[in-house]
Amino acid sequence: MEKAVAERNPFSPSFGKIPGIFVNRDNLTSTIKDRLITHDDLYQTTLVSGTRGSGKTVLITEVASSLARRPDWIVINLSSDEDILPTLARKLYAGSAGIMGKLFKPFGNFKVDIKGIGAELGRENETLTEVDARINIENMLQALKRKKKSVLVTIDEIINTPRIRRFASVYQILIREDYDIQLLMSGLPHKLSELQNDEGMTFLLRANRIELEPLYLPEVKEEYEGAFASRGRKILPEAAVAAAKLTGGYAFAFQSLGYELWEAGSGTVTEETVNSVIPAYKKMLFRNSYQKIYAELSAKEREFVVAIAEAYEGNRASFSEMKKRADGQANYASVYRNRLIGSGLITPAERGYVRFTLPFFADFIENDIVPYLD
């Protein structure tokens, strides 16, 4: 008799991939989508900010997928590390070939050079300057506007690169000239701030910036129950509550803990099951997320993160105690406290206290960082 094949684990604790199961931010997704459809000026340029693993990619993908199903929208997904302007032009053409047929013949051996970036873009035997490339994009947007078609450009995990800066400069001109183009970008808080404060990019300071909040724990609990029940398995209500609390509303933690609970066996998931997988769950968080988050901090930010962890009692740290442990940096404590709050790593707990926003982050610092400091 052949052994039954175990059902694939539905949880996906990996980055850059849309998981099969996730906790929807339906209200936020609907708000962004509806405001884009109604051409709300505030939402024309929207930045989604959140820590690594907070669900930024899922959010903008949901918005983009929803609009892409509408006949009056063209959605173009770009990445920071590609040739932004040539790719935008190619995808604009590909997404509206019927409309563009009279403006451009199909892209073939067309050459363009935008400050050294080679791409298939313009008319045959012509070399387009950066200005020419902008004009081509403007011509296409003009034709789309006449046909009442809107364009949404998305860029996930934005970083400040020369290509992004060139694109942003062109985009600023496009919105100033009232073309029907919207921009939805996501990124880490400090990356977005770096971009917004870059010389020549300060127009992004007026962009709509959305800070992702933790997931709503009752919805996390319901998603765990639904994920198991829809696949013929069961998680007890009290176990689902315990699991939801352990995630702290962190999207990557939802996937990681769900993955370990699924792997724990085919029986009913109880509170004992939840407690039994905590070591494996923490290990996954520490290795796959927290190591990278810690590595991206500046040296001084790391010092203060360690000081906060060492001052932790229960689920919070005294700010005054943290300052004592800050290795002679007490005068800068408020500055770095505000930076860490801005990065989404800590939050005020109550007057005089702070806490980490990520589950078991203090344990990570205590067990995986402090013992190996010089």
pLDDT value at residue 135: 78
Q: pLDDT for 224-264, tens place per residue?
A: 999 999 999 999 999 999 999 999 999 999 999 999 999 99
Largest CA distance in the chain: 71
CA angle in degrees (0–180, nearest 5) for 361-366-369:
90
pLDDT for res 132:
66
Residue 49 has pLDDT above 60, yes or no: yes
Amino acid at 152: L
Q: How far apart are CA 153 and CA 45, in angstroms?
A: 10
| 316 band by pLDDT with thresholds 50, 70 and 90 | very high
Expressed in angstroms, the distance from the first to the final Cα of the chain is: 58
What is the Cα–Cα distance from 140 to 100, expressed in whole angstroms?
A: 7
298-372 fold: Arc Repressor Mutant, subunit A (1.10.10)
What sign does the dihedral 92-96-99-104 (CA atoms) show?
positive
Q: In the sheet that 127-128 helps form, which strands lie side by side, from edge to edge?
A: 117-124, 110-114, 127-128
Tell me which of 7-11, 183-187, 283-287 is least confident.
Answer: 7-11
> Which of these CATH numbers, 3.40.50.620, 3.40.50.300, 1.10.630.10, 3.30.1280.10, describes 26-211?
3.40.50.300
Tokens of 24: 């929807």
Closest CA to 56 of 31, 28, 21, 82: 28
The total of other beta-carbon atoms located within 10 Å of residue 69's CB is 8
Q: What is the pLDDT of residue 239?
A: 98
Question: What are the structure tokens assigned to 319, written together?
Answer: 């700010």
**Is 103's pLDDT higher than 70?**
no
Is pLDDT at 82 greater than 60 in this prediction?
yes
Residue partners of 321: CB distance under 8 A and separation at least 6: 311
Q: What is the C-alpha to C-alpha distance for residues 183 and 116, in angstroms, rounded to an integer?
A: 25
Tens of pLDDT, residues 181-237: 999 999 999 999 999 999 888 889 999 999 999 999 999 999 999 999 999 999 999
The residue among 304, 321, 303 whose CA lies nearest residue 312 is 321
Is pLDDT of 25 > 60? Answer: yes
The continuous run of DSSP H or E covering 305 comes out as helix 299-310
The SS3 assignment for 168 reads helix
Q: Is the pLDDT of residue 284 over 70?
A: yes
Q: What pLDDT, on the 0 to 100 scale, is given for residue 128?
A: 45
| Residues 350-364, mean pLDDT to the nearest whole number | 95
Region 114-132: mean pLDDT is: 44
Q: Is the pLDDT of residue 277 over 90?
A: yes
pLDDT band at residue 340 under the 50/70/90 scheme: very high
**CA 301 to chain CA centroid, nearest Å:** 22
Domain definitions of the chain by residue range:
26-211, 217-290, 298-372
d(CA 359, CA 267): 26
Handedness of CA 298, 303, 304, 308 (dihedral sign): positive
pLDDT of residue 6: 65
Higher pLDDT, 24 or 217: 217
What percent of the chain is predicted at pLDDT more than 70? Answer: 87
**What is the structure's pLDDT at 93?**
82
Decide if pLDDT at 150 tops 60.
yes
pLDDT score, position 122 = 43
